[in-house]
Amino acid sequence: MSSSDFRPIEWSGDARSGTLRLLDQRLLPQAEVWLNYTGVEEVADAIRSMVVRGAPAIGITAAYGMVLAAINGEKRGLKPTALKQHLASAHSVLAATRPTAANLFWALQRCSNCIEDSPSAEMLLVLARSIHEDEVAANRRIGQFGAVRVQPGAGVLTHCNAGALATGGVGTAFAVLSEAHAQGKNIHVYVDETRPRLQGARLTAWELSRLKIPYTIICDGAAASLMAKRKIQLCVTGADRIARNGDTANKIGTYSVAVSAQHHQIPFYVAAPRSTFDVSIRDGADIPIEERAQSELINWGEEQVCPQGAAVYNPAFDVTPAPLIRGIFTEMGEISPVTEERICATLGK
């Protein structure tokens, strides 16, 4: 893989016998292992177990999962009505994987619309490829709009991973960092480690290393003290789902970053494509928040480090209220101030 434009999701073959290939993100950065998928149940497992993660990447993967379901249905000789039922159940299997990522439901809805009249693997593959390519193009524009806000010499804090691994393109929040770096702005990135799955320390740091962007990993709890020391001039994160009023769900801990940034008068930005907005949801209170296994918190590697029977709460995401967000970088431009009116005008809703 080249240093900048690697893709963690690949389709190989055609609409009769294709295979989905995913870079196993659970093993990074220690090992770069690719896994092959030919069935929708396995793709759902890959999303659930975070072989692939990040809202846009989940949406792209689900679209290819629908192609695999169609290929398998056609191989079994299913007639259009039976094939439609088969695809409807594939849709349900994929939709049940990670409830917060709006891009998952957006991509599945587009797949359903595409096969409304006549279901075919061929048509689904064309659609999946275009969803993939559109995300790549959107990422570049997000980076360009976001980099405008980055001052030369800035310390920039990010949380979780919103890079190529999470999107299939150059990333969302990460695109802002890489574009600012490419423009010679001499930035330094502070990377929240991102408990409990360490997407920051493992994945964002890996991506920054590949592009030779200077960075420092910090534990999540260190962010506020670095802000107090004036080391951070801007914060930017990705998003899993943005409600109509701009309330934004992202990796657990994002809300704490935004609150700390507000206290220190540091601008906090979100970067996200159109596919992450869910205008059917009025505000953040209605965003479904995924809760994950207790083992992610109580184990260190394979070993349990907490007392037996410890009570555990492990939400994967939190919601940052719109008033804490200075602006949202999208492929259509920056949405600022973050209000329902501006969001709907930008999305044409």
Structure tokens at 104: 């998952």
Which of these, 208, 126, 139, lies nearest to 169 by C-alpha position? 139
How far, rounded to the nearest angstrom, does the alpha carbon of residue 142 sit from its chain's CA centroid? 14
Report d(CA 185, CA 189) in Å as an integer.
Answer: 12
Q: Indicate which single residue of 60, 138, 147, 162 sits in contact with ligand MRU (rule: CB under 6 A).
A: 162
| Nearest-approach distance from CB 193 to ligand MRU, in angstroms | 13
Residues contacting residue 294 through CB under 8 Å, at least 6 positions apart: 312, 314
Q: Indicate which single residue of 61, 97, 120, 172 sits in contact with ligand MRU (rule: CB under 6 A).
A: 172
How far, rounded to the nearest angstrom, does the alpha carbon of residue 325 sit from its chain's CA centroid? 18
DSSP state of 315: B
Beta bridge partner(s), residue 265: none
- Contact set for ligand MRU, span 288-327 (CB under 6 A): 316
Query: CA 101, 107, 109, 111 torsion: positive or negative?
Result: negative
Part of the chain binding ligand MRU (CB under 6 A), chosen from 82-90, 115-123, 236-244, 307-315 = 236-244
Q: Note whether 241 binds ligand MRU by CB under 6 A.
A: no
Closer CB to ligand MRU, 124 or 223, in the complex: 223
| Nearest-approach distance from CB 55 to ligand MRU, in angstroms | 4
- Contact set for ligand MRU, span 173-202 (CB under 6 A): 199
Confirm if 200 and 217 have CB atoms less than 8 A apart: yes
Closer CB to ligand MRU, 70 or 102, in the complex: 102
Report d(CA 106, CA 274) in Å as an integer.
Answer: 10
Structure tokens at 240: 């899993």
Q: Note whether 250 binds ligand MRU by CB under 6 A.
A: yes
| Nearest-approach distance from CB 74 to ligand MRU, in angstroms | 31
Q: Note whether 160 binds ligand MRU by CB under 6 A.
A: yes
Query: With contacts defined by CB under 6 A, how many residues of the chain interact with ligand MRU?
Result: 17
DSSP state of 307: P
- Contact set for ligand MRU, span 4-63 (CB under 6 A): 53-56
Q: Note whether 166 binds ligand MRU by CB under 6 A.
A: yes
Report d(CA 113, CA 345) in Å as an integer.
Answer: 24
| Nearest-approach distance from CB 295 to ligand MRU, in angstroms | 15
Q: Name the residue with the smallest CB distance to ligand MRU.
A: 238
Structure tokens at 134: 């559109």
Closer CB to ligand MRU, 86 or 197, in the complex: 197
Part of the chain binding ligand MRU (CB under 6 A), chosen from 6-14, 232-240, 320-328, 333-341 = 232-240
Active site residue ranges: 240
Structure tokens at 233: 């001039």
Q: Indicate which single residue of 97, 120, 167, 245 sits in contact with ligand MRU (rule: CB under 6 A).
A: 167
Residue 327 phi/psi, 5-degree rounding, is -170, 160
Q: Which residues of this protein are in contact with ligand MRU, per CB under 6 A?
A: 53-56, 160, 162, 166-167, 172, 199, 237-240, 250-251, 316
